Amino acid sequence: MDRAALLLARARGRQLPCSSEGFMRHRRRRPETAAVHGAADLDKKNGPVATPIYQTSTFEVIDNDEQQRVTSTDRYYTRWGNPTNTVAEEAVAAIEGVEAARTFASGMGAITTTILALLKAGDHVVAQRDVYGGVSKFFSQWLPRVGIETTFVDTNDHEQQARAIRPNTRMLYLESPTNPSLRVVDLKKAAALAKAHNLISMIDSTFGTPINQHPADYGIDLIMHSGTKYLSGHADLTCGVVAGSRELLEQINETRTTLGNCMDPHAAWLLIRGLKTLAVRVARQNENAQRVAEFLEQHAKVRRVHYPFLKSHPQHAIAREQMSAGGGMVTFEVEGTGEDARRVSEAMNLFTLATSLGGVESLVSIPVLTSHAMISAEQRQEMGVNEEMVRLSVGIENADDLIEDLERALQAVGTRQTVPVG
């Protein structure tokens, strides 16, 4: 029996001709062997509805010639790729409307691997100033170690961004809406600027989600998501995804393989499961967040509310033009002090005090203590991140219950805890 027929027979689960291969496959196996190989030989007459988890580090081949052929596929070694991961990647690429995507062990892993894949010593990055704290730290403290310099610019000042571009600039790095102040970038202008100077444009679109915005439609080259957040939606895995052209993703994949920053197949399966409910979850989060933002904007103990679909938002018109909804994140500043903000966050019941975001459950955090704690107070001030900020990740609970929880928690503003005497 030739190799091709043997592979086909294996795939179809057919009985093989009488040979040592066929004999070993169909005779009753000893318990020790059956414990390892028994389930692998089950015939599957009907395909599974749910994507199988290929929880394996490596894949069997017939001979060394085949071994060479599969090295560029997802059935060689899971650091290179895995069928479960491929399904997740193709799903994200389809949702974003681009050619390809790759998964990573975390959102930061996706960002760092991508930048190291596409840039080299002597290159220069123009990045907006108010980005996630971990990214700011990577740009300002880690990239200089490998000879890559970054110039930080105002998020919405496109003239300043243009002036910052040098002959050795290779990338324009964006985030929209931003964390935690929810500023919105004019994606059309940003993409046009990048193309005019032959730069790779990359955006962290985690807060936007592929449901509310599609950066590729405006000409952005690479879209990154911390899949830990909205894509998975259940606070039960850590992952990152980068989507874009096949040409760029092939370069990124080569570096990902070398660095080993791959996603585990079981986590990929959880991501696939989360993606199936992404649209319905985000729709409910959009509705809830809009109501929460409108409530907070009218509250006497709230100084300012940051939410793209409020008319008071400075980029409201841009947000309405390029986003289908305002998203599930709301940041507000208490009319008080940093201590007041802490007390409010700790007084909530339905909003769980925890870092991260995007899950079905509502979360609350203080940005200066979590997402932006790893950078200096001076950097935070330049970003507009202050101690009075409270960041909400609005979940899918009943909006009335969430508003009642906020109303009660805001009573903590201006109160002082006293220590009993005697």
132 is catalytic: yes
Quote the domain boundaries for residue 89. Answer: 83-276
pLDDT of 415 reads: 65
Same domain, 116 and 182: yes
pLDDT of 144 reads: 98
Stated pTM of the model: 0.87
Same domain, 240 and 303: no
Cβ–Cβ under 8 Å, residues 403 and 291? yes
Residue 317: CATH number of its domain: 3.90.1150.10
204 is catalytic: yes
276 is catalytic: no
Residue 223: CATH number of its domain: 3.40.640.10
pLDDT of 44 reads: 52
Among 79, 189, 273, 320, the active-site one is 79
- Domain edge (last residue) among 221, 254, 276: 276
Among 74, 123, 204, 264, the active-site one is 204
Among 75, 170, 229, 301, the active-site one is 229
Same domain, 228 and 284: no
Cα–Cα dist 310/300, whole Å: 17
pLDDT by residue, tens only, the chain of 422 residues = 444 444 444 443 434 344 444 434 445 666 555 444 554 444 455 678 888 999 999 999 999 999 999 998 999 999 999 999 999 999 999 999 999 999 999 999 999 999 999 999 999 999 999 898 899 999 999 999 999 999 999 999 999 999 999 999 999 999 999 999 999 999 999 999 999 999 999 999 999 999 999 999 999 999 999 999 999 999 999 999 999 999 999 999 999 999 999 999 999 999 999 999 999 999 999 999 999 999 999 999 999 999 999 999 999 999 999 999 999 999 999 999 999 999 999 999 999 999 999 999 999 999 888 777 777 777 777 777 788 999 999 999 999 999 999 999 999 887 655 444 44
173 is catalytic: no
Same domain, 212 and 87: yes
CA angle 411, 416, 420 (to 5 degrees): 125
Same domain, 176 and 202: yes
Cα–Cα dist 417/63, whole Å: 73
Q: Tell me whether the omega of the peptide bond preceding residue 210 falls within 30 degrees of 0, making it cis.
A: no
The domain total for the chain is 3
- Domain edge (last residue) among 252, 276, 300: 276
Residue 243 β-bridge partners: 101, 223
Cβ–Cβ under 8 Å, residues 178 and 385? no
Which 3 state secondary structure label does DSSP give 334? strand
Distances (CA, A) of 160 to 48, 70, 154, 219: 54, 48, 7, 20
pLDDT of 379 reads: 78
Residue 117, number of CB atoms within 10 A of its CB = 20
Two structure tokens written together for 230: 């909205």
For residue 323, tell me if it sits in a domain: yes
